[in-house]
Amino acid sequence: MWIRRSRRARRLSVSVDARTGRPQLVIPFRVTYAEADQFMQSESEWLLHKLKELPPRIPFEDGAKVPLLGYKCCIKHLPLLPPEVNHEGHELVVGGKNDEIKHRITEWFKKLAHQKLTELASQKTQDTEHRSPVVTVRDPTTRWGSCSKNGRLSFSWRLILAPPSVMDYVVAHEVAHLSEFHHGPNFWLLVEKLCPSYRRSRHWLTRHGAKLLRYG
Ligand SMILES: [Zn+2]
């Protein structure tokens, strides 16, 4: 459990990090540890339920099955090969030291995600009055993409693990925000224009999104 004292928090709260599965307790400055302890006891059932609900964690290691654009790939570690990642058929072959596999594969996914998301975003903006946006990839836990006021788009690199239609929808969603800030009827009309099958992908994310956060 990660415990954090906060000057800004107004009340006790407990949450679970969707990536690591680590619970986090936030204690406002004026609340005592005894009160926090009592709070945790009252929340223990909820916390257990939340932890049970988490999909299994799948670390990037030799033999792990990971989805790449929705297709299952198997990680194969060959320590004598140079420290890089190669996608060969149904395998992701990674060389170099064992303790660097996770970092190397994550960086490889991020780079590929950035490339695909940038391509898609510039394709989709061609149908609008906007210029190709600047795209960055991050690892957020509560959203798949975001659009800043100055027109920069940011996405979760984990979308590279989802089927291509899902990535397509998330890009369409953020590109639509370049024209329509709020999720009103005009916004969804524009999303549909940019990605006609968006409803299916949105549903996929609701059902399977949490699994994507458990890789790595
Ligand atoms: Zn939105």
3-class DSSP string for the chain: CEEEEECCCCCCEEEECCCCCCEEEEEECCCCHHHHHHHHHHHHHHHHHHHHHCCCCECCCCCCEEEECCEEEEEEECCCCCCCEEEECCEEEECCCHHHHHHHHHHHHHHHHHHHHHHHHHHHHCCCCCCCCCEEEECCCCCCEEECCCCCEEEEHHHHHCCHHHHHHHHHHHHHHCCCCCCCHHHHHHHHHHCCCHHHHHHHHHHHHHHHCCEC
Choices 3.10.129.10, 3.30.2010.10, 3.30.70.1350, 3.40.50.720: CATH for 65-212: 3.30.2010.10
Gap from CA of 58 to ligand 1 centroid (Å): 29
CA–CA distance, 50 with 194 (Å, rounded to integer): 36
Average pLDDT of the segment spanning 163-189? 96
Gap from CA of 78 to ligand 1 centroid (Å): 42
Gap from CA of 177 to ligand 1 centroid (Å): 7
Residues near 121 by Cβ (< 8 Å), separated by ≥ 6? 132, 133, 135, 153, 171, 174, 175
**Cα torsion 28, 31, 32, 34: sign:** negative
Gap from CA of 169 to ligand 1 centroid (Å): 11
Gap from CA of 59 to ligand 1 centroid (Å): 30
CA–CA distance, 167 with 123 (Å, rounded to integer): 13
Instruction: State the pLDDT at residue 83.
Output: 93
Gap from CA of 173 to ligand 1 centroid (Å): 6
pTM for this predicted structure = 0.89
Gap from CA of 170 to ligand 1 centroid (Å): 9
CA–CA distance, 149 with 78 (Å, rounded to integer): 45
Q: How is the chain split into domains, by residue range?
A: 2-53, 65-212
CA–CA distance, 124 with 173 (Å, rounded to integer): 10
Gap from CA of 69 to ligand 1 centroid (Å): 22
**pLDDT tens digits along 6-23:** 999 999 999 999 898 999
**pLDDT tens digits along 39-63:** 999 999 999 999 999 999 999 999 9
**pLDDT tens digits along 125-156:** 997 888 899 999 999 998 999 999 899 999 99
Instruction: Look over the chain and give the mean of its residue pLDDT values, rounded to a whole number.
Output: 95
Gap from CA of 56 to ligand 1 centroid (Å): 28
Gap from CA of 145 to ligand 1 centroid (Å): 8
